[in-house]
């Protein structure tokens, strides 16, 4: 078995924290053994990178605590102090030391991982330690989390079921002088009854339920923090508090992903993975059913258009936010749908006010130039690229020969544009109802201090430092709805724009408040907003209207066919299937390798990054093994044998505006069932990054041009 196969055979058991993540860093990938180049500083001979002696670990540790832990809401002074004291690099294999203060789980021995620093801090804070307690930890691993606990508690008792890890962690802890940490090799689900009861118990693995043995070893008034879930790969982090001898309370803390808690009161050992021979047969079946094409320009779309039929909504996905082929293929399909199936509008995963700039331009509307440049905030390249510009120019040319009512429109579905949406509502009311405009300014004034960075508003309301603006923004939306008929008489399209901007402000206010409570609430609110916007557009354009959605695969594929459903998350693809049934047609995209436009962190500059080859056990690897460079794969009515093979859950890659190839599995893969997720799948084996617009390309264009300087 190769290094890669060995790592992947254990992939389902790697710890991580949610944010649409899976698995962990693959050592083999990081050292350049699977395609690509070795990382900077790796000389190919020694295990330790040549620049290791130059790293200031103390400085990196302090920066990590501030940036990734304190900034994300961990406030316990004793926890922050403990995180600053413990040298994480001492608990890592030599080849991983340089990554010690990345906020990510990292591989250690026996297919296990050292936990993400943030999750260690969050779980430790959830124990509500004050100092001097007796703590039980289940899942010693490297010993890092036990060391953190030991800087707060009087004694830490930790149990590890893997003998090699128990032996190594005990030696490391002793060598570093952690005398109050006691390590036991045993079944963690049974706890360590010899030293019970405990003031606090923390479990670093996910179980199907809370083990009764652990509950029994908890002191009355004590706290037990454990990931629990019916799925081995997905859990809810819960805190159990013992109120009396037989009474407990439970509260949910966050969605997480940990290795399975294996033992008598947990899961059985991991099952077998699919045989490679079966994958080879399945790849041949895909190649047989796929409709091959040599180029985007020459692809025959007739069979696809026949499959789409009378669908009212067609959702076109993308596996990244920065791949040229995905944009160009969506353009080609959209042109065909507009020309041959009479589709009314395009709705993108972008902000409403920015998309309105494009809409005014392509529909030849007489609007004054806007005060802002469309899609000028991060991630600029996602919509300000040459591929989108060519489609926008085609839409304008297409609309030139149509009557105003028959021109194809262009809208944004997203809700991030708080400031521009407020300004759009005020500008509209200034024209049609100055008195209401004055009221709107007063109400929206509640959000004025936060318009440049609404995430700060969400944090301020959560901590009680600032009251919420919910009543003000919802009242403004209600006022507009009540005056719908009077306002619409002036200009129905302008009223739609104002109404949607007011709805966006109300939903954005809720979004930025809920994003601090966890990913589920904010994700669902965002996709619900997208879906409601889509329905409003279909209603505005009439009962026979049809819409095309451009968004990421994670939005347009049916979430019930992915691991999102285990977290109670849903998306616009799922909501469309519920609402429209077969009249909704979803198309996903995939690639194996190439380049992509993405950033390393939020709000950082775009880079053209190399996309790593797809991992084993993924749908992308399966498509790559067909040896076909490009094809369309119908899934709704696929042959029975093909469907049966594809119904086996597999990994699927999702690259957004951020791409971290060094943590490929952790950051960019999730589990899905492809035939239930999409109606069709488009494959490009090798792809290239989109081309951002350069300033010199935009000089001399009219003021109304949406991508102007």
For tokens 């989108």, name the residue.
Answer: 388
3-state secondary structure of 330: helix
**Among residues 274, 348, 285, which one has the least CA distance to residue 626?**
285
Q: Are strands 218-231 and 234-242 parallel, antiparallel or unpaired?
A: antiparallel
Contact by Cβ (8 Å): 611, 597? no
The first and second tokens of residue 487, run together, are 């306002």
Contact by Cβ (8 Å): 183, 169? yes
Q: Is 467 left (phi over 0), alpha (psi -120 to 50) or beta?
A: beta
> Chain centroid to CA 258: how far?
17
Residues known to be catalytic:
115
Separation between Cα atoms, residue 331 and residue 90, nearest integer Å: 52
- Inter-axis angle of helices 434-444 and 470-482, nearest 10: 160
Kindly report the CA angle at 90 between 84 and 92, in degrees rounded to 5?
115
Termini Cα distance of the chain: 55
Q: Are strands 584-598 and 345-351 parallel, antiparallel or unpaired?
A: unpaired
φ, ψ at 308 (rounded to 5°):
-65, -40
| Per-residue CA distances from 161 to 42, 103, 169, 203, 302 (Å) | 34, 26, 12, 13, 58
Contact by Cβ (8 Å): 314, 332? no
Q: Is 128 left (phi over 0), alpha (psi -120 to 50) or beta?
A: left
Contact by Cβ (8 Å): 102, 124? no
Contact by Cβ (8 Å): 590, 653? yes
């Amino acid at each position: 078995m190769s290094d890669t196969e060995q790592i992947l055979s254990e992939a389902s058991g790697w710890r991580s924290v949610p944010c649409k993540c899976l698995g962990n860093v693959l050592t083999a990938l990081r050292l350049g053994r699977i395609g690509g180049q070795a990382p900077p500083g790796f000389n190919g001979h020694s295990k330790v990178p040549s620049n290791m002696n130059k790293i200031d670990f103390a400085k990196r540790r302090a920066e990590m605590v501030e940036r990734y832990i304190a900034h994300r809401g961990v406030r316990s002074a004793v926890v922050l102090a403990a995180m600053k004291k413990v040298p994480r690099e001492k608990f890592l294999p030599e080849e991983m030391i340089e990554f010690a203060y990345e906020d990510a789980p990292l591989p250690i021995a026996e297919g296990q991982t050292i936990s993400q620093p943030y999750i260690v801090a969050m779980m430790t804070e959830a124990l509500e330690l004050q100092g001097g307690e007796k703590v039980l930890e289940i899942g010693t691993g490297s010993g890092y989390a036990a060391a953190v606990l030991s800087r707060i508690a009087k004694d830490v008792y930790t149990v590890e079921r893997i003998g090699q890890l128990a032996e190594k962690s005990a030696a490391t802890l002793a060598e570093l002088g952690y005398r109050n940490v006691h390590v036991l090799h045993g079944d963690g689900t049974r706890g360590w009854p010899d030293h019970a009861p405990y003031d606090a118990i923390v479990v670093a693995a996910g179980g199907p339920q809370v083990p009764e043995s652990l509950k029994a070893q908890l002191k009355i008034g004590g706290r037990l923090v454990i990931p629990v879930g019916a799925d081995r790969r997905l859990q809810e982090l819960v805190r159990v508090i013992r109120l009396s001898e037989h009474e407990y309370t439970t509260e949910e803390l966050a969605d997480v992903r940990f290795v399975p808690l294996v033992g008598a009161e947990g899961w059985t050992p991991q099952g077998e993975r699919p045989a490679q021979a079966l994958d080879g047969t399945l790849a041949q079946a895909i190649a047989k059913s796929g409709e091959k094409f040599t180029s985007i320009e020459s692809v025959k779309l007739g069979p696809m258009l026949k499959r789409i039929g009378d669908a009212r909504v067609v959702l076109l996905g993308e596996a990244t936010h920065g791949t040229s082929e995905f944009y160009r293929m969506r353009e080609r399909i959209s042109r065909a749908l507009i020309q041959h199936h009479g589709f009314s509008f395009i709705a993108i995963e972008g902000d409403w006010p920015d998309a309105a700039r494009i809409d005014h331009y392509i529909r030849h509307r007489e609007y004054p130039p806007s005060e802002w440049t469309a899609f000028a905030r991060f991630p600029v390249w996602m919509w300000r690229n040459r591929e989108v510009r060519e489609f926008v120019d085609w839409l304008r040319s297409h609309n030139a020969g149509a009557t105003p009512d028959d021109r194809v429109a262009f809208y944004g579905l997203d809700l991030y544009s708080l400031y521009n949406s407020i300004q759009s509502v005020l500008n509209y009311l200034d024209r049609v109802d100055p008195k209401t405009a004055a009221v709107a300014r007063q109400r929206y004034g509640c959000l004025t201090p936060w318009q440049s960075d609404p995430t700060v508003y969400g944090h301020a309301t959560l901590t009680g430092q600032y009251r919420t603006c919910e009543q003000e923004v919802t009242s403004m939306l209600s006022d507009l709805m009540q005056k719908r008929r009077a306002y619409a008489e002036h200009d129905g399209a302008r009223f739609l724009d104002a109404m949607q901007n007011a709805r966006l402000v109300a939903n954005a206010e809720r979004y930025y408040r809920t994003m601090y409570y966890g990913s589920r609430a904010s994700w669902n609110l965002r996709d619900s907003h997208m879906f409601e916007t889509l329905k409003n557009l279909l209603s505005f354009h009439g009962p026979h209207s049809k819409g095309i959605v451009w968004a990421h695969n994670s939005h347009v594929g049916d979430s019930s066919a992915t691991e999102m459903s285990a977290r109670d998350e849903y998306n616009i693809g799922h909501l469309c299937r519920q609402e429209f049934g077969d009249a909704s047609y979803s198309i996903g995209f995939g690639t194996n390798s190439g380049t992509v436009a993405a950033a390393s962190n939020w709000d950082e500059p775009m880079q053209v990054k190399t996309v790593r080859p797809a991992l084993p056990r993924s749908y992308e690897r399966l498509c790559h093994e067909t040896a076909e460079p490009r094809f369309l794969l119908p899934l709704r009515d696929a042959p029975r044998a093909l469907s049966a093979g594809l119904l086996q859950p597999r990994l699927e890659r999702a690259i957004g505006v951020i791409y971290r190839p060094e943590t490929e599995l952790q950051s960019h893969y999730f589990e899905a069932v492809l035939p239930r997720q999409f109606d069709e799948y488009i494959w490009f084996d090798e792809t290239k990054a989109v081309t951002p617009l350069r300033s010199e390309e935009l000089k001399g264009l009219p003021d109304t041009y949406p991508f102007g300087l």
